[in-house]
Structure 1
Amino acid sequence: MKDFVHSWKVRVGLGLLTVYGLLALFGPALNTLLGLDPRAIDYDATGQPPSAAHWLGTTTGGEDVLAQVLAGTRGSVVVGLIAGVLSTAIAVLVGVIGTFVGGKADACATFLTNLFLVLPVFPLILVVAGYLQGGGVLMIGLLIGFFGWPGGARTLRAQTLSLRNRDFIVAMRMLGERRWRLVFVETMPHLAGWTSAMFLHAVVGAVLAEAGLAFLGITSPDAVSWGTMIQQANQQSALLSGLWWWFVPPGACIALLGLAAGLVNFGIDEIANPRLKAARRSLVKQVEKRARTIAARPEPVKQEIPR
């Protein structure tokens, strides 16, 4: 836990994720506090660059870009969280619990995993989302999460098979330890790094998938997200018109979210992986030793030059 707190990657990543979480919770309230409305149209300031009146500029329809970014944070983050939680839960259920149960349950879990792996996921989501258009961010998140678990389940199954044959697991099984305790108390802590990485990857992937669906027009017309902002900017040829302030902020938000998830993942991997942890400590010791050596050197004697 101490290494987790002291890792600069984890601190920076968690700081960015905390900012996104606060914006998702209080973004609409912040718009109200600033007197902004993502749907309000200012006919006197259409397509204006960033200024004191509109900090991130306006769209060709006179809508404030900052208001849309703040309102769209909730939609994109909600999609990412729903898809991440659902896909990670299914992957753990199929990959870990199914492997420990064994028998027909493991065979069915393996068959489902292989079946979903060969399915064209994005076109399938595109078709289903097209039929269910109007469901909003909840429907998009559930669809992405439902189809996004097989890769993680395959990885967790391979790790669980390795752990299941370890000496301490075999010894506890021979002593009559309950299966649920073997799964949740003895096995899951060893898979914490894999599970957290899977969850963060699923969140970022869901945000990107939602942006792709919105870019193709498969989203609710009333939904506001970073993807819908990019889609509207593309429809109005913002890139060709030089309206960079329309599509750069939502794109930067998605990139920063991916950076935050990557930093947290790298930090957890450094802490959970003994080899990376040892290499990190060795590097820190080398730097400290070098600093002590430099500090222990005697200061050069200053000699006055005779005039």
Structure 2
Amino acid sequence: MSEEEVTASDRLGTWFAKRFDTFRVAWEDWRFKTGLFVLGIFVLLGTVGVRVYPEPTMTVGVKWVEPFQSLTYPFGTTQYGQGIFAMLVHATPTMLEMVVGGAIFATGVGTIVGVTAGYKGGRVDSVMTTITDIAMMLPALPLIIVISSIFEPQRAFIVGILVSINAWAGGARALRSQVLTIREDSYVEASRIMGVPTSKILATDIVPQLLPLILVNLVMAGRAVIFNAVALYFLGVLPYTTVNWGVMLNLAYESGAVTTPRIFYTIAFPLATIVLFSWGLIMLAQGLDRVVNVRVRAETPEEYE
């Protein structure tokens, strides 16, 4: 085996060891495990739950059934006789698809822009930083509303990308700051001197060091998608293509649930579901923060030896 092969093997082994240690530290935080548990519940609802739980249908004679009165309608029914629990379950796949689409888009663009700007420096950095600053200054909600009115997206994945149209900027800024430090490390400098292609340096020396921060950006971008999408569906900006948590809030609001205590449950359960999903993502991000945040690492140095 050549020296180059041995070196590559050693570097690969070191990379896996660091990644395993990274997630071991995160796993020891109860918030990380709680976040994974909550996220797992929604994934199960969106994949298994929709197959075993009947779709919500308009049923005459069962409108305004109060919650916890029937196993068939555990969360009660709407003014149209639709089971609220069934609506929440069958709206979950759409929301998950939006979250995945928006989180991947925002994190992907932010990673590409931030890493490239931080590593290349010079004019490339100036141009990309200017674009990032402009994206951060743009008012997100009005911009999304205008674009939604023009294109009227139908697919949930595209809706997720749309509501994350400028959500990548904050992550790009954070990653750029990290890369400015990492690019001065000796092993990165050695790779440059040896003539290693820039793409390979970024893929093997830079990005792996940023993985925890990238994951935090991914989680927080997904959380932003939830609120933006729900708000737009609630306001009626996005088309009512399917059962959706935002649509449920809109229908409950239109029926007077906010001012009528007897039917307040029709708006309370969708709100609680949205808050629970968001809280789970926050717990996940805070658990990963133990790995990313320098101050937190300094407070628990024995876990990073």
Aligned equivalents of 1:4 and 1:97: distance in 2?
28
Separation (CA, whole Å) in 2 of partners of 1:163 and 1:277: 18
Asked if the contact 1:72–1:225 (Cα under 8 Å) also holds between the matched residues in 2, the reply is yes
Q: 2:213, 2:292 within 8 Å by CA — same for their partners in 1? A: no
How many Å separate the matches in 2 of 1:109 and 1:277?
30
How far apart are 1:103 and its partner, in Å? Answer: 4.7
| Corresponding residue to 1:49 among 44, 56, 66 | 66
Q: Is 1:84 aligned with 2:92? A: no
Classify 1:206/1:101 alpha carbon distance in 2 versus 1 (closer, same or farther; 3 Å): same
Measured after TM superposition, the shift of residue 104 of structure 1 is: 4.5
- TM-fit CA distance, 1:141: 1.0
Shift of 1:44: 0.8
133, 144, 148: which one aligns with 1:114: 133
* Offset at residue 274 of structure 1 (A): 5.7
Aligned to 2:116: 97
2:248 is matched with which residue: 219, 225, 229? 229
Distance 2:294 2:178 in 1: 16
Residue pair 1:126, 1:218 contacting (<8 A) in 2 also: yes
Q: Deviations over 1:52-82 (max 9, x none)?
A: 1311000112111011000111111211110
User: What residue identity is the alignment partner of 1:48?
Assistant: V
- What residue number does 1:290 align with? none
Look up the equivalent residue of 1:246 and give its one-letter code.
T
Which residue in 1 is equivalent to 2:266? 246
Post-superposition offset of 1:273: 4.2
CA displacement 1:108-138 (0-9 Å, x = unmatched): 3223212212222210111111223352423
Q: 1:181 aligns with which of 200, 211, 224?
A: 200
**Residue segments in structure 1 that go unaligned for 5+ positions in a row:** 284-307
The residue that corresponds to 1:209 in the other structure is: 228
Partner of 1:37: 55
TM-score, L = length of structure 2: 0.83
Question: Distance between the aligned counterparts of 2:292 and 2:78, measured in 1?
Answer: 46
Alignment of 1:123-142 (within 5 A): 123-133=142-152, 135-142=154-161
Displacement of 1:26 after TM fit? Answer: 2.6
Match of 1:8 in 2: 30
Aligned to 2:299: 279
Backbone CA RMSD of aligned residues: 2.2
> Structure 1: how far apart are the matches of 2:63 and 2:83?
9
Gaps of 5+ in 2: 1-19
Amino acid at match of 1:210: A
What is aligned with 1:20? 42
Q: Distance in 1 between matches of 2:198 and 2:219?
A: 28
Q: CA deviation at 1:281?
A: 6.8
1:113 maps to a residue whose letter is: T
